[in-house]
A and B are shown apart, each in its own frame.
Chain A
Amino acid sequence: MTQTIKEIKTFSVFMVGVGGQGIGTLSEVLIRAVDYSGQRCIGVDTHGLAQRGGVVSSHLKIGNVNSPLVIPGEVDLVIALERHEAMRGLSYLRPGDVLVYYDTSWQPLPVRLGREKEVQNVEIDNFAKENNINVFRVFYNLPDVRMQNTAVLATIAKYSLIPQVRPEHYLKAMEDLMNEKVYALNKEVFEKILSE
Chain B
Amino acid sequence: MKALGDMLIQREPFSEIVIGNTAIVRAMVESGVKVVTSYPGSPTPEIAEAINSIKKEERPFYFEFSTNEKVALEVAFGASINGYTSCVFFKSVGMNVVADSFVQLSMMELPGGMVIVIGDDPGANSSQNEQDNRHYARLSYTPILEPKDAQEVYEMFLKAVEYSKKLRSPVILRLTTHTAHFKQKVHFGSYVPSDLGLPIFNVKKNGPYIPIANNVPVMKRKALEKLSEWGKISEEFAHTSKNNSKRGVITAGLPYLSLLDVLGDNVEKVDILRLGMVYPLPRKAIIEFLKSHEEVKILEELDDFIEQYVKSIAYEEGINTKIIGKIDLDDWIGEYTPEKVKIVLKKVWPDLVYEPHKKVGNIRVIQRPPQLCPGCGHRPVFYVLSKILSKDDISVADIGCHTLGFLEPYEVGQVLLSMGHSTGTASGLSLFNKTRKVVAFLGDSTFFHAGLPGIINAVFNNHNFTLVVMENGTTAMTGHQDHPGRKIRIRNLLEAMGVKHIWEVDTYQIDKLEEVLKQALDTPEFNVVIAKHPCMLKFTRERRRKGIVKVPQMSVTNKCTLASVCITKFACPSFQRDLEGRIYVNKDLCIGDGSCIGVCPSGALEFEKFEKADNTESAGDLK
Contacts and interface: CB of A to CB of B under 8 A. Distances in A.
A116 interface: yes
Contacts of B359: 73, 94
Interface in A98-132: 104-114, 116, 118-119, 123, 127, 130-131
A93 B617 CA distance: 38
B264 A8 contact: yes
A113 B358 CA distance: 35
Contacts of B1: 175-180, 183
A55 B365 CA distance: 12
B408 interface: yes
B568 A113 contact: yes
Residue among B265, B338, B409 with max Cβ neighbours from chain A (10 Å): B338
A74 B353 CA distance: 14
Given A67-B257, A112-B567, A94 B360 contact: yes
Nearest to A67: B257
Contacts of A43: 183-184
Contacts of A130: 361
Interface in B249-301: 254, 257-258, 260-261, 264-265
Contacts of A45: 19, 181, 183
B366 A116 contact: yes
A147 interface: yes
Contact of A68 (B182, B260, B409): B182
A55 B368 contact: yes
Contact of B356 (A19, A42, A94): A94
A106 B573 contact: yes
Contacts of A51: 126, 370
Contact of A91 (B365, B408, B622): B365
B113 interface: no
A9 interface: no
A174 to B, nearest CB: 10
Contacts of A67: 254, 257-258, 260-261, 337-338
B261 A127 contact: no
A20 B404 CA distance: 17
Chain B interface mostly: loop
B620 interface: yes
A77 interface: no
Interface string A24-36: 0101000110010
A111 B17 CA distance: 39
Q: How big is the B interface, by class?
A: 35 or more
Contact of A112 (B19, B339, B401, B577): B577
Contacts of A176: 1-2
Nearest to A34: B17
Contact of B181 (A44, A54, A133, A144): A44
B618 interface: yes
A43 to B, nearest CB: 4
B61 to A, nearest CB: 25
A138 interface: no
Residue among A105, A146, A185 with max Cβ neighbours from chain B (10 Å): A146
B363 A127 contact: yes
Interface string A152-183: 00000000000000000000000111111111
A29 to B, nearest CB: 10
A25 B361 CA distance: 31
A182 B178 contact: no
A35 B186 CA distance: 12
Interface string B157-180: 000000000000000000001100
Contacts of B576: 105, 107, 111-112
Nearest to A142: B619
A90 interface: yes
Contacts of B257: 66-68
Contact of B342 (A71, A131, A177): A71
B365 A87 contact: yes
Contacts of B254: 67
B372 interface: yes
Residue among B401, B404, B573, B577 with max Cβ neighbours from chain A (10 Å): B573
A18 interface: yes
B619 A106 contact: no
Given A44-B181, A49-B479, A106 B363 contact: no
A182 B183 contact: no
B261 A87 contact: no
A32 B404 CA distance: 35
A9 B369 CA distance: 36
B409 A113 contact: yes
B615 A143 contact: yes
B518 to A, nearest CB: 27
Interface in A1-40: 1, 3-5, 8, 18-20, 22, 25, 27, 31-32, 35
A183 B337 CA distance: 35
B364 to A, nearest CB: 6
Contacts of A143: 615, 619
Given A31-B17, A32-B17, A43-B183, A90 B360 contact: yes
A50 B403 CA distance: 9
B617 A177 contact: no
A18 to B, nearest CB: 7
A113 to B, nearest CB: 6
B370 A46 contact: no
A74 B361 CA distance: 14
A69 B264 contact: no
B130 to A, nearest CB: 13
The 6 closest A-B pairs by CB, nearest first: A146-B620, A48-B126, A54-B370, A4-B264, A67-B257, A66-B260
Given A44-B178, A67-B257, A179-B1, 12 more contacts: A8-B264, A31-B183, A46-B125, A52-B371, A52-B404, A65-B261, A71-B339, A84-B366, A87-B366, A109-B409, A182-B618, A183-B1
23 contacts: A27-B183, A42-B183, A45-B183, A52-B404, A53-B368, A53-B371, A66-B258, A69-B178, A69-B337, A73-B360, A84-B368, A91-B360, A94-B359, A95-B360, A109-B408, A114-B581, A118-B577, A143-B619, A144-B619, A149-B620, A179-B1, A185-B617, A185-B619
